[in-house]
Amino acid sequence: MQLAKPLAPGAMIGILGGGQLGRMLALAAAQLGFKCHIYAPETASPAFQVSAAHTIGAYTDFAALGRFAKAVDVVTYEFENVPAETAAFFEGRVPLNPNVAALRTAQDRFDEKTFIAGLGIPVAPFAAVAGEASLEAAIERIGRPAILKTRRFGYDGKGQTKIAADTSAAAAWAEIGKAPAILEGYVNFDTEISVIAARGLDGAIAIYDVPENRHQNHILHTSTVPAAIASGIAEEARAIGSRIIAALDYVGVMGIEMFAGANGLVVNEIAPRVHNSGHWTMDACQVSQFEQHIRAICGWPLGGTYRHSDVVMINLLGGDAETWKDLAADPAAIIHLYGKLEARRGRKMGHVNRLTPRQS
Amino acid sequence: MQLAKPLAPGAMIGILGGGQLGRMLALAAAQLGFKCHIYAPETASPAFQVSAAHTIGAYTDFAALGRFAKAVDVVTYEFENVPAETAAFFEGRVPLNPNVAALRTAQDRFDEKTFIAGLGIPVAPFAAVAGEASLEAAIERIGRPAILKTRRFGYDGKGQTKIAADTSAAAAWAEIGKAPAILEGYVNFDTEISVIAARGLDGAIAIYDVPENRHQNHILHTSTVPAAIASGIAEEARAIGSRIIAALDYVGVMGIEMFAGANGLVVNEIAPRVHNSGHWTMDACQVSQFEQHIRAICGWPLGGTYRHSDVVMINLLGGDAETWKDLAADPAAIIHLYGKLEARRGRKMGHVNRLTPRQS
């Protein structure tokens, strides 16, 4: 089921997941006069602090989910590892955006790559891996070096291992926990970029300027806009983003990671949600990716993606957030902290945006 | 008592008042990783929807205020009509910013004008009015036309009446409810402007670019930045703002309304809080007036007031907010709605900021 008409301000938005993305979605929803009800299993979820209501519950507690569905006017999710059966539960109960099929596709790396390749969009060579023997066959076909990833539940470099010249299939298979996997060939690239794309209930598509992303230890470190790529490449990236988001009949914001190199663009993965590499939109654009997502899932027209400034977004991980005194004293830093209690190593605690006047 | 050191993210900020200013303060506090506890008498206060905690209580319920004081790390207020005895109650319990003396000064139009005039800053001719006879004497001295205002609790044109050529003192005195009053002479001006000034715990002062304000029915309609005034006048306005905020040993953001005309600047009134004519800072500046206020009251260094865009802020009053569909479809409108249930005539329901590239 889908919304019959745009939700009026004052409506209650249900968000599955209470981390920083849910929190920033709730803050953006508040700006438009909406209320939010967060559903999350963790007792101290950052999004609870800024929302009108919350439910602490497991994603498989269908009694609690049923009460939640009755209490909200639309449901969305902040991360792609919400169980698909949880998302499917809302069918016939309350509109859910983005749709379940898009969520399922993005949850499984093999399905995802198959879908994207099926659109005629370049991806790395890939093969499904179900055991040691199929891994050996896949390595034979794709060659070394390659990377073995679990099909599901991977993020920030988790659930993956490199197949180097001397890595045995048995060791790699054990390393990822013998879970259903995908082997991907290495892609030579110059630049990592992403496309932050939005699609409205009316089918309209809006795409932000393309950021250039740098990672450290597989975790996003910075996003810089504009990216140091030719304008033709940026245009091609945006066109690819449009094709993917339209093909999924998607409503909301999606992040699409790509590699740009001498041989053009290769899509790495899609995330059916607001994306870390779009956090710079909060301060450099008229409408942030968070407001854009809220607009889309509520049936509003998409907002303007106009970027008024050049910008670098820097993630604050773990102990980085303890530098808040230095950050607070830096007049060029726009600070976003997520209200997390414990600064575990590598945990995303906040980010900083640094604006400079737009150069072109 | 004052904060011994800057509050760390995660601290709880207490806000007296749960209207749109409290709501926007809470949203800004969340961005910096702070939690908010709202104290307000109204059961459906807009700020409750975006805050970690709230207390519904009267401003004279000192038992409830005592519990509130224990639950928070600092207290501020969103409006100047918090009773001064309520603010004074926190002395010795928890730091309060801005200070009680500043609040008292701003609560009484006669004290306010006396204070400003005492700094050698031009104000309209004024006289205290305690009854019909003193009103007649004041009219004799100040001349007609003039304006009679209650000393306390006036805002958006409430509690005031014009003394025209044929207005009798008795009628005017009855009109304002025979409350202690001030008679003010008319000021000829070309432009209404305001200064949005901030002062940190360290005494540092930061002042935003000066907006030009237009009112309709005594309620702010638009603020435009930059104002159409000579740069020397804007500099003078900012200098006056600095003198006032420093003289009050003020910590936080203050709005100072002024008239600009052929005879220079005249200060109209001060508001010891974030100000409607500063709402454009949310989208046109690096750090908004709301974040600036949170930074100041938490002992953080003030943030950058850099303005990246030209901007017009338009208030949405009463039924204006029902045009949300049209606003949502306007790609140049940045929408802020306050989550108020009932759109009473003249009630501030939201505002829109319209950005254009900075021209100078």
Summarize pLDDT for A15-63 with one digit per residue, the tens. Answer: 999 999 999 999 999 999 999 999 999 999 999 999 999 999 999 999 9
User: Within a domain: residue A115?
Assistant: no
Assess if residue B69 is contained within a domain. yes
Asked if the structure places residue B116 within a domain, the reply is no
DSSP label at residue A322:
G
In angstroms, the first-to-last Cα distance of chain B is 43
Which pLDDT score, from 0 to 100, does residue B230 have?
95
Mark whether A210 and A336 lie in a shared domain: yes
| Residue where one domain finishes, among candidates B149, B168, B185 | B185
pLDDT greater than 90 at residue A74: yes
Q: Does B319 touch chain A (CB under 8 A)?
A: no
pLDDT at A200 over 90: yes
Find chain B residues with C-beta within 8 A of A347's C-beta: none
Query: Which of A50, A295, A348 to substitute to test the interface with B, most B CBs within 10 Å?
Result: A50
B288 and B181 fall within a common domain:
no
Question: Helix or strand or coil: residue B250?
Answer: coil
**pLDDT at residue B360, as a whole number:** 75
Mean pLDDT in chain A? 96
- ∠ CA A338-A342-A346, nearest 5°, is 80
* Phi, psi (deg, nearest 5) at residue B31: -60, -30
Q: CB contact, 8 Å: A12 with chain B?
A: no
* Same-domain status, A170 and A261: no
Q: Please, how many CA atoms are within 13 Å of residue A64, restricted to the half-sphere of its CB? A: 15
Residues A174 and A209 reside in one and the same domain: no
Q: Report CB contact under 8 Å: A9, B300.
A: no
pLDDT of residue A331: 87
Range of the domain at A50: 12-96
| Residues A217-274: tens digit of each pLDDT | 989 999 999 999 999 999 999 999 999 999 999 999 999 999 999 989 999 999 999 9
Rounded Cα gap, residues B241 and A131, in angstroms: 72
Contact A328 B48 (CB under 8 A): no
Return the pLDDT at B153: 81
**Residue A104, domain member (yes or no):** no
Indicate whether A158 pLDDT > 80: no
Distance, in angstroms, between A154 CA and closest chain B CA?
Answer: 28
Does residue B68 sit in the same domain as residue B53?
yes
Asked if residue B342 and residue B294 are part of one domain, the reply reads yes
The Cα A279–Cα A281 span in angstroms is 5
Give the residue from A329, A322, A324, A327 showing the smallest Cα distance to B301: A329
Q: Does some domain include residue B109?
A: no
B36 to chain A: closest CA residue: A49
A172 and A230 both lie in a single domain: no
User: Which residues of chain B make contact with A307, given a CB cutoff of 8 A?
Assistant: none
Give me the number of domains chain B comprises: 3
Q: Is A267 helix (H, G, I), strand (E, B) or coil?
A: strand
| Closest chain A residue to the Cα of B53, Cα to Cα | A49
Residues B50 and B156 in one domain: no
Residue A112 lies in a domain: no
Residue B195 and residue B335 in one domain = yes
Q: Is the dihedral of CA A264, A270, A271, A272 positive or negative?
A: positive
Beta strands A348-357 and A333-337, pairing class: antiparallel
* Residue B286, min C-alpha distance to chain A (Å): 7
> Domain with B245 in it: what CATH number?
3.30.470.20
B321 chain-A contacts, CB cut-off 8 A: 9, 33
**Chain B 275-304, residues with CB within 8 Å of chain A CB atoms:** 283, 286-287, 295, 300-301, 303-304
CA dihedral (A222, A228, A229, A231) in degrees, to 10, reads 110
A177, A195: one domain: no
Asked if residue A222 is part of any domain, the answer here is: yes
* pLDDT the model gives residue B155: 66
| CB-count burial class (<10 Å; 0-12, 13-18, 19+) for A251 | buried
Angle (nearest 5°) at CA B58 between B48 and B75: 60
Q: Do A322 and A206 have their domain in common?
A: yes
What is the token pair recorded at B352? 């829109």
Task: Tell whether A175 and A200 lie within a shared domain.
Answer: no
- Judge whether B227 lies within some domain: yes
Amino acid at B268: N
Q: What is the pLDDT of residue B263?
A: 86
Q: For residues A157 and A274, what is the distance between their CA atoms, to the nearest angstrom?
A: 19
The residue of B36, B49, B292 whose CB has the most chain A CBs within 10 angstroms, and thus the best one to mutate to test that interface, is B49
pTM of the model: 0.96
CATH of the domain at A164: 3.30.1490.20
Domain boundary among B151, B170, B185: B185
User: How many A×B Cβ pairs under 8 Å?
Assistant: 113
CATH number (domain holding residue B24): 3.40.50.20
- Residues in CB range of A206: below 8 A, 6 or more apart: A197, A198, A199, A200, A292, A302, A303, A304, A305
Residue bearing tokens 């949405």:
B316
Residue B191 C-alpha, separation from nearest chain A C-alpha, in angstroms: 29
Mutate to test the interface with B, among A335, A358, A360 (most CBs of B within 10 A): A335
Q: What is the pLDDT of residue A360?
A: 76
All residue ranges of chain B with pLDDT < 70 are 155-157
